Amino acid sequence: MQREKLNCALLKMLNIEIMDFEYSETDLQGGTIGAVKLVSGTAEAAVNNKIPFKLVYKRHEKFERYGDPGSWRREHDLYSTDLQAAFDGSFRMPKCYHTEITDKESHIFMEYVEGISGSDLTIGMFEQAAEAIGQFQGMVYTQNPAQLKNELNLGTAGFLRKDYMQWKPETSEYRYVRSDSGDIPVHLKEMIIDMDNRAEELFGYIEELPKVLCHRDYWHENIIITDNGVVAIDWDTAGWGYLGEDIASLIIDDTNSDDQVELYKRLIPAYYKGLAKHMRFSDLKHNYIHEIMLIKEGYRNISRYINWEKNRLDWELAERGDFVRRLQNIFDMKKINV
């Protein structure tokens, strides 16, 4: 990280003239396509006082995500739109202090948000996050900010279908579901086969739902509950999608399997409560959130189950049977009227 980039960020963050600064970096997360670091230090102002600071530096290298090639630069692009106008006190993204981009990577300096996240979230906090994104999506759907509407680098509404289509007949997951091998109960395999048989019918219904601006990675690790509301981080997969996609992720995406049925009961009403503040949807006869969860996570849990031995060290979920419980939860949710 170059000092001149950090200096630009500090000037906007602190809104004072800076004579000098010292800092250190701590890895927050990252991998082969970038890095996320906590940058903390002390800035010396012109009036000779020292001001402590914390911010997040995110570097994203260019890469090709399946079905979404422009995602590597999306957060940079979103900070250049009027998306901020769609936020209120209950829901927002981190403040941005400085961005730069080349043809190979993007650099973002943003607010360090302190709060409760990940496995520390209570079910009540999940409800808060569900209502907040519902309100946000309803506001964007109703107001439709002009610049955001014309923003070219947003994911398309066809992403859900593309994600599902990766599980082709030649994949080991597809063949496993149709085999007699393995310990996954027959009724769970049949649930997935029935989804495949009805795929065009289901997508026909889902694609008639209102199109809303989706975060598309709305799970507990990307949600921070603060004293002032909900902050969602990691917007690089954001795009137009169908009503309910983000709540399907919030319920099912790596949440504790013991909580998933209760989350299903409580998060969908909270989501619709948020939506109702800005849009009407009384004509919807079915919300299709259950079907979206199965489309998103059915084959994915099969894949994790059959590849558990070689990948288990990379997953927090150490028990292979947990992936079966997750499929059973989706099966049980179908009986619940929400």
Evaluate whether residue 238 is within a structural domain.
yes
Evaluate whether residue 100 is within a structural domain.
no
Residue 160 and residue 82: Cα distance in Å, rounded? 25
Which helix (DSSP H) or strand (DSSP E) does residue 35 occupy?
A: strand 34-45
Evaluate whether residue 240 is within a structural domain.
yes
Q: What is the pLDDT of residues 128-143, one digit of tens each?
A: 999 999 999 998 888 8
Residue 244 and residue 240: Cα distance in Å, rounded? 12
Evaluate whether residue 58 is within a structural domain.
no
Evaluate whether residue 22 is within a structural domain.
no
> pLDDT band at residue 287, thresholds of 50, 70 and 90?
confident
Mean pLDDT of the chain: 90
The pLDDT of residue 81: 81
Evaluate whether residue 15 is within a structural domain.
no
The pLDDT of residue 45: 85
Residue 208 buriedness (CB in 10 A; 0-12 / 13-18 / 19+):
exposed
What's the pTM value of the predicted model, to 2 decimals? 0.92
Residue ranges making up the domain that contains 206: 115-333
Q: ∠ CA 268-185-338 to the nearest 5 degrees? A: 15
Evaluate whether residue 96 is within a structural domain.
no
User: Would residue 31 be called left, alpha or beta, if left means φ above 0 and alpha means ψ between -120 and 50 degrees?
Assistant: left
> pLDDT band at residue 23, thresholds of 50, 70 and 90?
very high
The pLDDT of residue 68: 82
Domain count, the chain: 1
> pLDDT band at residue 33, thresholds of 50, 70 and 90?
low
> What's the Cα-to-Cα distance from 18 to each of 7, 13, 38, 97, rounded to whole Å?
8, 11, 20, 15
> pLDDT band at residue 57, thresholds of 50, 70 and 90?
very high
CATH number of the domain residue 297 falls in: 3.90.1200.10
Q: What is the pLDDT of residues 145-198, one digit of tens each?
A: 655 666 668 888 999 999 999 999 999 999 999 998 778 999 999 999 999 999
Picking from 148, 147, 60, the residue whose alpha carbon sits closest to that of residue 110 is 60
Evaluate whether residue 35 is within a structural domain.
no
The pLDDT of residue 143: 81
Residue 57 and residue 104: Cα distance in Å, rounded? 17
The pLDDT of residue 285: 62
The pLDDT of residue 311: 67
